[in-house]
């Protein structure tokens, strides 16, 4: 079992969606651990800002613009990173968006963006980088951003929740595939609980139904008031990834509660139901 410094210092990290939120926190932490951090984001301004922060603290970072919803861009990224920086030690498929609204009210283009970024971005991130990592034959780490939402359901967050269920099952299968290949590549599913990020800010909901704004604000306020500090959460994440853990949680008790509820649901084979906290969030008596 390795510490995060032992595992990652001197290596190359590629983090998607690293211009904001959890991705930016992971990028900063990877920089602190002595990695060369490839900070990718769809926004050049955000990516450059995070890379500049890392370099200002004495770290090494490079900003790259990537739209993870386009598989060809991930292919280009993988080829360019390996050509310029060498073998990738840590790949974090983090890029994702939250979408809120009733299933039938979310516009088609927002649905497509959510599925393409949250699911296909992870799938094609692995597809693009894994062959290089396997060919190198060195110990490496792949971590995909799932969520405690991968073990729960929430109406009007359907689009986001279903993508996280998909990422979880994909990552479980990927773990087994690496075992089947007897590859020295560790696979982790990152399940953040509640971290203080910008994912529920109003601007992030562009393209959502107007009625989604109240739910988005309630989630934003909840996160702001009760969320874990981003830096602390990202430190916990990379410590567990370095240890080779598959289940990586920022708040294990939240993960356990979600898993326990899901197990009970399957055992009882009951209709889907809302817990008390969810009812309160949605304003249901």
pLDDT at 279: 60
**Number of C-beta neighbours around residue 81 at 10 A:** 24
For 212, list phi and psi in degrees, rounded to 5.
Answer: -75, -15
**Active-site residue 102, yes or no?**
no
Q: Which domains does the chain have, with CATH numbers?
A: 4-256 (3.40.50.720)
The answer to whether the CB of 145 falls within 8 A of the CB of 121 is no
Give the pLDDT of residue 245: 98
Given 132, 160, 175, 226, which residue is catalytic? 160
| Per-residue model confidence (pLDDT) at position 276 | 63
CA 103 to CA 279: how far, in whole Å?
A: 18
Residues of the chain with pLDDT under 50: 200, 202
pLDDT for residue 258: 92
User: What is the reported pLDDT for 51?
Assistant: 98
As a whole number of angstroms, the distance between CA 13 and CA 88 comes to 6
């Amino acid at each position: 079992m390795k510490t995060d410094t032992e595992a990652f210092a001197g290596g190359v990290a590629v983090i998607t969606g690293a211009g904001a939120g959890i991705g930016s926190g992971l990028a900063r932490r990877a920089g602190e651990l002595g990695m060369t951090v490839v900070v990718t984001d769809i926004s050049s301004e955000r990516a450059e800002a995070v890379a500049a922060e890392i370099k200002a603290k004495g770290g090494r970072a490079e900003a790259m613009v990537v739209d993870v919803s386009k598989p060809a861009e991930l292919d280009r990224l993988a080829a360019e990173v390996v050509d310029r920086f060498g073998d990738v030690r840590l790949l974090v498929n983090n890029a994702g968006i939250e979408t809120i609204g009733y299933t039938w009210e979310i516009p088609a283009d927002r649905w497509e963006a959510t599925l393409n970024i949250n699911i296909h971005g992870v799938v094609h991130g692995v597809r693009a980088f894994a062959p290089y990592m396997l060919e190198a034959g060195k110990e490496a780490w792949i971590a995909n951003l799932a969520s405690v939402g991968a073990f729960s359901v929430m109406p009007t967050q359907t689009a986001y929740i279903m993508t996280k269920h998909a990422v979880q099952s994909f990552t479980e299968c990927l773990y087994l595939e690496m075992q089947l290949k007897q590859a020295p590549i560790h696979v982790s599913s990152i399940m953040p609980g509640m971290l203080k990020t910008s994912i529920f800010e109003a601007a992030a909901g562009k393209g959502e139904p107007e009625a989604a704004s109240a739910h988005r604000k309630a989630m934003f306020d909840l996160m702001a008031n009760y969320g874990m500090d981003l830096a602390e959460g990202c430190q916990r994440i990379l410590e567990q990834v370095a240890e080779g853990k598959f289940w990586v949680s920022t708040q294990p008790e939240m993960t356990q509660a979600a898993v326990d509820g899901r197990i009970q649901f399957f055992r009882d084979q009951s209709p889907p139901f809302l817990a008390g906290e969810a009812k309160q969030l949605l304003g249901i008596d």
